[in-house]
Amino acid sequence: MEKINLKQAAYINGQWVNADNKIAVNNPANNDIIGYVPDLEKDLVHQAINSAAEAFETWKNTSPDIRYNLLQKFYELIIRDREKLAKIITIENGKALQDARKEVDYGANFIRYFAGEPYRISGATLPSANINNRTQYIKQPIGVVGAITPWNFPMAMIARKLGPILAAGCTAVLKPSEFTPFSCNALIELLIEAGLPKGVVNVITGDAAMIGEIMTSHAQIKKITFTGSTRVGKIIYSNCANQIKKLALELGGNAPLIIFEDANQNLAIEGIIASKLRSGGQSCTSINRIFLHEKIYDQFIENFKIVFANVKLGDGLNEENDLGSVINQAAIDKYEYLIADALSKGAELVLGGKKLSGQGCFFEPTIIKNANPNMEIFSQEIFGPIAVFYKFSNDQEALALANKTNYGLASYLYTQSQLKARHISENLQYGMVGINETILANEMFPFTGIKESGIGVEGSHLAIDEFLNIKSINYRVS
Ligand code: ADP
């Protein structure tokens, strides 16, 4: 494979910068160190925020054409470098190359979609209670946005935030995951090539808690948009309280999939496989609990096993593999703990259950059946290539089990009955429902969670409002 140049720096006020202290980044497929990013001191974090604040004064007043041109050019460059970006994702995240290519397309589409949004930011004029008055409201960019992103979609999560931030006329300070900073930097190189003005986007790397504290307490940061764990989301939420800082949180999930007796079973099997192969099941929307009707239980699991056992596991760079490595040993330790707990409480292991011997963080496609709500695996986010089956006998029971969680992100159901699909989807306590489909997120889909899964919307025409303030103006007409 030709050598890929990784940008090993932070990006502040239009300059790539470095520091004496560094953070090592490794490839989870072989544990090799692939590069380093700076472990920035506090003053550079402040510099990044101040430069975004200064740039905002100009960027907020740019014409829609300027913002469209930048984003559209950025999109074209991402597509030009699709292969290189996919490889960077694979070597720092571990996911299979074919999956990484899908991530590049997924992320790029957000940039293309939001390129057009500057033309559509609008307000309205409303009547007033006083007949001599009118009310007008306009929408204005919020200001500097602090964006904190995770490692599971290292490129797409940056793109999904950058599209609406830039389209709205905001500027940004990005903090990518310390495990996967190079996908972010590769994107920023393309954004610079597309004509990014100085200070409009900055990238900082370093101690996450320190950066989080500065971002949440800095008066110039007007909004935080965070994607990551519910644990960290709660810290950020509480730290934002002091300044009533606006925030969007896209947090963990505990997605149920209900497969009713009348489901198209082949479609359901395809759906579970797609969900488990997407970032190796390391996605907050990945199916965590499968509720299967008792009448189809054993046969369905047998059929599913045949397909899941055929999944090719190995180095993500090898085109033949469907499933790459997971992010690190800590993830594997968690799977082993959850599986052991489930088996000790009566679950049965149908397939897999182990890490591959040798280097790298490869975990076998795994199936567990006869699980029940007393097991840890029922309430914790697995984040891996593990399918866990529960049995139910009627619709009410399935719905109650599905809703028995503090999370409320994605949920899924398979049935051929229109009425049942409508009824169950309206009663699932989740921000998103997939009916006979498990891949939901795209640039046109309002991605949103309730309960402890988050606040705010990403994707669709609703998402630009996350980065705009409403200003109401009352004026006299006579
Ligand atoms: P995950 O389990 O998906 O890695 P995390 O919530 O740990 O989720 O990480 C998501 C992002 O949040 C990463 O960029 C990480 O560095 C960052 N992060 C971790 N701790 C904090 C914190 N205390 N404040 C702000 N950001 C944090």
Q: Are strands 133-141 and 468-476 parallel, antiparallel or unpaired?
A: antiparallel
- Write out the two tokens for 294: 């008792």
**174 touches ligand 1 (CB under 6 Å):** no
Q: What is the mean pLDDT of residues 71-97?
A: 98
**Is the model's pTM score more than 0.75?**
yes
pLDDT band at 1 (very low <50, low <70, confident <90, very high): low
Q: Over 70: is that where the pLDDT of 9 sits? A: yes
240 as an active site residue: the answer is: no
Q: Over 60: is that where the pLDDT of 132 sits? A: yes
pLDDT for 3: 78
**Ligand 1 midpoint to CA 208 (Å):** 6
Task: Please say whether the beta carbons of 20 and 167 come within 8 A.
Answer: no
For residues 89 and 183, give the distance between their C-alpha atoms in angstroms, rounded to a whole number: 6
Given 284, 361, 364, 458, the catalytic residue: 284
**307 touches ligand 1 (CB under 6 Å):** no
pLDDT for 2: 62
Given 250, 364, 443, 466, the catalytic residue: 250
For residues 433 and 426, give the distance between their C-alpha atoms in angstroms, rounded to a whole number: 9
**212 touches ligand 1 (CB under 6 Å):** yes
Task: Please say whether the beta carbons of 146 and 215 come within 8 A.
Answer: yes
Best residue among 148, 204, 409 to mutate for probing ligand 1, ranked by most atoms within 8 Å of CB: 148
Q: How many CB atoms lie within 10 A of CB 207?
A: 16
Residue 447, classed as helix, strand or coil, is: strand
Query: Measured at the alpha carbon of residue 430, what is the angle toward residues 426 and 435, in degrees to the nearest 5?
Result: 60
In order of 130, 139, 237, 242, 246, the CA distances from 219 in angstroms are: 37, 21, 16, 11, 12
**37 touches ligand 1 (CB under 6 Å):** no
Task: Please say whether the beta carbons of 156 and 227 come within 8 A.
Answer: no
For residues 243 and 232, give the distance between their C-alpha atoms in angstroms, rounded to a whole number: 18
270 as an active site residue: the answer is: no
Tens of pLDDT, residue by residue over 322-380, are: 999 999 999 999 999 999 999 999 999 999 999 999 999 999 999 999 999 999 999 99
Nearest protein Cα to ligand 1, atom 3: 228
CA-atom Rg of the chain in angstroms: 23
**237 touches ligand 1 (CB under 6 Å):** no
For residues 53 and 199, give the distance between their C-alpha atoms in angstroms, rounded to a whole number: 8
For residues 287 and 292, give the distance between their C-alpha atoms in angstroms, rounded to a whole number: 13
- Write out the two tokens for 51: 């430069």
**Ligand 1 midpoint to CA 150 (Å):** 7
Task: Please say whether the beta carbons of 357 and 313 come within 8 A.
Answer: no
**178 touches ligand 1 (CB under 6 Å):** yes
pLDDT for 281: 98
Q: Over 70: is that where the pLDDT of 418 sits? A: yes
Q: How many CB atoms lie within 10 A of CB 455?
A: 17
Strands (DSSP E) contained in 27-120 are 33-38
For residues 149 and 178, give the distance between their C-alpha atoms in angstroms, rounded to a whole number: 10
For residues 164 and 166, give the distance between their C-alpha atoms in angstroms, rounded to a whole number: 6
Phi and psi based region of residue 286 (left: phi greater than 0; alpha: psi -120 to 50; beta: remaining): beta
Q: What is the mean pLDDT of residues 211-239?
A: 98
Q: Over 60: is that where the pLDDT of 270 sits? A: yes
Q: What is the mean pLDDT of residues 12-26?
A: 98
**235 touches ligand 1 (CB under 6 Å):** yes
**Ligand 1 midpoint to CA 439 (Å):** 24
Encode 313-352 in three state secondary structure.
ECCCCCCCCCECCCCCHHHHHHHHHHHHHHHHCCCEEEEC
pLDDT for 455: 98
For residues 353 and 332, give the distance between their C-alpha atoms in angstroms, rounded to a whole number: 10
Q: What are phi and psi of 73, to 5 degrees?
A: -65, -40
**455 touches ligand 1 (CB under 6 Å):** no
Q: Over 80: is that where the pLDDT of 195 sits? A: yes
Q: What is the DSSP letter of 187?
A: H
- Write out the two tokens for 420: 């049942």
For residues 379 and 381, give the distance between their C-alpha atoms in angstroms, rounded to a whole number: 7
Task: Please say whether the beta carbons of 352 and 343 come within 8 A.
Answer: no
Nearest protein Cα to ligand 1, atom 27: 208
Task: Specify the amino acid at residue 137.
Answer: Y
**229 touches ligand 1 (CB under 6 Å):** yes
Q: Over 70: is that where the pLDDT of 412 sits? A: yes
Residue 407, classed as helix, strand or coil, is: strand
**Ligand 1 midpoint to CA 236 (Å):** 10
For residues 292 and 219, give the distance between their C-alpha atoms in angstroms, rounded to a whole number: 50
Q: What is the mean pLDDT of the chain?
A: 98
**Ligand 1 midpoint to CA 459 (Å):** 22
**Ligand 1 midpoint to CA 83 (Å):** 28
Q: How far is CA 210 from the centre of its chain?
A: 22
Best residue among 151, 177, 232, 285 to mutate for probing ligand 1, ranked by most atoms within 8 Å of CB: 232
**262 touches ligand 1 (CB under 6 Å):** no
Among 218, 209, 175, 147, smallest CA distance to 37 is for 175
User: Which residues touch 135 (CB under 8 Å, ≥6 apart)?
Assistant: 125, 126, 127, 128, 472, 473, 474
pLDDT for 75: 98
Tens of pLDDT, residue by residue over 203-223, are: 999 999 999 999 999 999 999
**151 touches ligand 1 (CB under 6 Å):** yes
Residue 363, classed as helix, strand or coil, is: strand
Best residue among 92, 149, 177 to mutate for probing ligand 1, ranked by most atoms within 8 Å of CB: 177
Q: Over 60: is that where the pLDDT of 119 sits? A: yes
Query: To the nearest 10°, the Cα dihedral for 153, 42, 192, 156?
Result: 10
Tens of pLDDT, residue by residue over 441-463, are: 999 999 999 999 999 999 999 99
